[in-house]
Structure 1
Amino acid sequence: MNPRTIGTVTRGTTNPNRLRRMDRWIAATFAAQLRRTSDPIAVDLGYGAAPWTAVELLGRLRTVRPDLTVTGIEIDPARVAAAQPYARDGLTFAHGGFEVPLPGGRRPVLIRAANVLRQYDEAEVAAVWERLRARLAPGGLLVEGTCDEIGRRHVWVALGPEGPRTVTFATRLGSLTRPSDLAERLPKALIHRNVQGEPVHAFLTAFDRAWATAAPLSTLGARQRWAAAVRSLRADGWPVTDGPSRWRQGEVTLAWSAVAPHA
């Protein structure tokens, strides 16, 4: 391993379509910046033992920016070698870690780091975020989060060069008993903070309460119930930043400040 490579090898678990919810959110909410950027390169950081997520990221983002390119970066050289047969026009694979090595000093407009920080200590997250944000192009976006093995439940944080902006909770609604089921997929910055007195615990508790209140709407379907619960959260003062078109996807996004851990 290159001594300048920063990070440790992950489990590498991956499945086709695992990150579809995250990818679709990026394509929908970050489309304007993807279209504006003069150097449309995205990074799939820590894609794992198989390159499916990088292949899929290219396809989904090219619906927004047809000349966008993706570089999959992995810290395990064997995984990089195994991915090379999948390289194509606009898709490359490289050995590296949190230093995000790109040729010619290029800076990506997007870094997606899914299921990478789960094995790290919570105390390490802020430094990793800072390092990755420093690699972004002006106006770029870092999306870091966690999902289950088949992509039914996700929680991710969106960060700009200045720091964390939002947190998104996303799920296949048919798999959900209550919104707090998503707690098991909180990213590393939050998963140990789902305890009494912490903001993320207060949010999930409020979400469960709103979900229960909206139970009569379950006869109209889980989407209607979810949307009603989110409207209730917004009415109660939670800083929800998206609208019904995203809620219908089984998502809700709110300002990071609403769940940021206490120091």
Structure 2
Amino acid sequence: MTGGRAPIGRATRGTTGTNRLRRVDRWIARHPALRRSDDPLVVDLGYGARGWTTLELWSRISRVHPAAEVVGLEIDPARVDRAREELARVRAGETSFAPDARVHFDRGGFEVPLPGGRRPAVIRAMNVLRQYDETEVVNAWERMAVRLQPGGVLVEGTCDERGRIASWIAIDHTAHPRSLTISLRLADLERPGIVAERLPKALIHRNVPGERIHDVLQAVDDEWERAAGLAPFGPVQRWEGALRALRARGMDLPDRGRWRLGEMTVPWETVAPR
């Protein structure tokens, strides 16, 4: 609901496919911002040409928080109409999604318009800022973050078309970035540094010598190579061995329990642009 005003931002390219965002969905489902919220509302900002990934998001987070609700927002009114048509099929029991899915679609952009002034616990904005200039990123973060509940999180990032390579930044309700997460499909992974092609806009142009993100990706690649001796035991063991070595070198790597998923999270200060 935009109240007659044009949504803020530009329409995404709309290429999001089914299951593309499964990695970030799993991460959101376990995040304290959602699990501890009294109003577990999630906004899927810029869901693309179809509404399937919004429905997938609800399916995943509702397993952890049954009261969760998801609102899909798009700037293009034709996309909103199409998503509502798809939702009508869901309600009619014609899809694999639950007919009573707590999902709806509306028109909106970075202003994150919600009825009754509600504030989301989480805003997922994946593959939204890729078409923007780096100088526009902080302003977009601020516009979205101000709409969050206290303690809420904005998840802004990028992934490849198949969802096998992803990265995202967690930004708090004061628009302060808190962490960067890298999530990779470990099977057949040649090197972790391939994520450089799918870094969030705030970092993708910073992967050059002298920048922290370049140092981190180089260190991960180095330890992945050194852990090659663990490869016969499987890619998960190799990945965990590489991350253990990074931790031994002094890198702050929380969320060890998620390493097996191909994830690696570092505090924002570890990768922040210089």
TM bucket normalised to smaller: over 0.9
Q: 2:143 aligns with which of 122, 125, 131?
A: 131
Partner of 2:109: 97
Deviations 1:189-245 (A, max 9, x none): 0000000000000000111111111110001111101001011111111111210x3
Number of residue pairs matched? Answer: 259
Give the percent of matched residue pairs that are identical in Structure 1 and Structure 2: 57
Where do residues 118-197 of structure 1 align in structure 2 (5 Å cutoff)?
118-162=130-174, 163-197=176-210
CA distance in 2 between counterparts of 1:36 and 1:129 reads 23
Where do residues 1-263 of structure 1 align in structure 2 (5 Å cutoff)?
3-28=5-30, 30=31, 32-87=32-87, 89=100, 90-162=102-174, 163-243=176-256, 245-262=257-274
Secondary structure in structure 1 of the residue aligned to 2:124? strand
Partners of 2:33 and 2:153 within 8 A in 1: no
The TM-score with structure 1 as length reference comes to 0.95
Q: Which runs of 5+ in 1 are unaligned?
A: none
Q: CA deviation at 1:85?
A: 2.4
Q: CA deviation at 1:67?
A: 1.3
Secondary structure in structure 1 of the residue aligned to 2:169? strand
Secondary structure in structure 1 of the residue aligned to 2:146? helix
Secondary structure in structure 1 of the residue aligned to 2:28? helix
Please provide the CA RMSD for this pair: 1.3
CA distance in 1 between counterparts of 2:66 and 2:86 reads 19
Partners of 2:119 and 2:148 within 8 A in 1: yes
Which residue identity lines up with residue 189 of structure 1 in the other structure?
A
Q: CA deviation at 1:3?
A: 4.0
CA distance in 2 between counterparts of 1:261 and 1:227 reads 27
Q: Which runs of 5+ in 2 are unaligned?
A: 92-99
CA distance in 1 between counterparts of 2:86 and 2:152 reads 26
Deviations 1:123-175 (A, max 9, x none): 00011111111110111111000000010000100111131111011111124
Q: CA deviation at 1:92?
A: 0.5
Structure 1 segments, 4+ long, off by >2 Å, are: 1-4, 32-36, 85-89
CA distance in 1 between counterparts of 2:111 and 2:6 reads 8
The TM-score with structure 2 as length reference comes to 0.92
Partners of 2:29 and 2:35 within 8 A in 1: no
Secondary structure in structure 1 of the residue aligned to 2:187? helix
